[in-house]
Amino acid sequence: MPEQTTFDLRSHPHRRYNPLTRDWVLVSPHRTQRPWQGHIEPLPEDVRPRYDADCYLCPGNARSGGLRNPVYTGTYAFDNDFPALHPVSTAGSVIDGNLLRAEPEAGTCRVICYSPRHDLTLAGMSRAEIQRVVDTWTEQYAELGAKAHVRCVQIFENRGAMMGASNPHPHGQVWASASVTNELRRELDAEVEYHASHSSCLLCDYAALESTRRERVVCANEHFIVVVPFWAVWPFETLVLGRRHTGGLDQLSIEERSGLADVLGDVTARYDALFGVPFPYTMGWHQRPTDGDEHVSHHLHAHFYPPLLRSATVRKFMVGFELLGTPQRDITPESAAGRMREVRAAR
């Protein structure tokens, strides 16, 4: 029988529980010692002008759908020229036996240009500029959420060609759908169950715990805290949490929006400083559904999911055991948070 050793999160293989999704992630910290002989991504070039005459998102330019942008000077939101959803759905459904089922889905898709400058990212924008982005997110959530056919407003950003972004101009998207998305529904169910069991909010409790532990905190201020969550799957994944319990961006005060702009600029600048290039990621907000229910258990938060593993040229892929079994990571959340804390944000 093998000799018993004391369990150590920093060196022994183990699995961690995600209370938001009620899934597990396998953590194998000992594997960081193995040599890397896998795929190496080429270093991206990010030398861009302030204005690009060929960019379909720059002010005054023609878009890919044929319409022309106004000469906007701040943020600019417009209906996506090639939307994944349409406001009016078709009638009917398909049910074939016990297994095959399909139904129409209505919705609205929009694009939000963060800045008229082609060469910026959130990391390079001022707090006031990022706050205008936060204000636009808030306005879009309120406007689209008030529509009769909308029950869920998903605000997100794909940053970088590695993440499928077709244009480097600083922008994000809003998809407002008639049904609540899978990931948000899973979180809502977990939050309701936790509140019923503990008479408190899951993410309020988690924000308080991480504020005390500190080892996974990346940056924080009076209103928001950014952590590499204990259950993180992606190597440098982060979770943005409000310190006050709110269900959506529309419930934030002006001071909280300013605080949110501050941490968003901070964490994105740390990403860039850590890897030396504009950092690729998918980022998105999980807000309460706009289906008429209060969803008092839900706590406003955002996820950053970056794909880089060890450097700007080594990418994390979900393959093999992870696709067929359980997600797995080698770099511990504590190690990733420590690296992000230590690097100086270039702001």
Q: Which residues are catalytic?
A: 171
Tokens of 207: 């924000």
Q: In angstroms, rounded to a whole number, what is the distance separating the alpha carbons of residues 128 and 109?
A: 26
CA angle, corner 197, sides to 193 and 198, nearest 5?
115
Q: In angstroms, rounded to a whole number, what is the distance separating the alpha carbons of residues 268 and 279?
A: 8
**Sole residue written with tokens 């809003």:** 174
* Cβ neighbours of 240 (radius 10 Å): 21
Q: Which residues pair with 108 in a beta bridge?
A: 176
**Sole residue written with tokens 């939050």:** 191
Determine phi and psi for 129, rounding to 5 degrees: -65, -40
* Cβ neighbours of 284 (radius 10 Å): 22
Nearest to residue 215, comparing CAs of 229, 205, 201? 229
Tell me the three state secondary structure of residue 225: strand
Measured CA to CA in angstroms, residue 139 lies from 18, 153, 249, 250 at distances of 31, 11, 9, 8
| Cβ atoms of residues 75 and 112 within 8 Å | yes
| Cβ atoms of residues 56 and 166 within 8 Å | no
Q: In angstroms, rounded to a whole number, what is the distance separating the alpha carbons of residues 212 and 210?
A: 5
Q: In angstroms, rounded to a whole number, what is the distance separating the alpha carbons of residues 337 and 302?
A: 17
Query: For the chain, how many residues are written?
Result: 347
Q: Which residues pair with 328 in a beta bridge?
A: 26
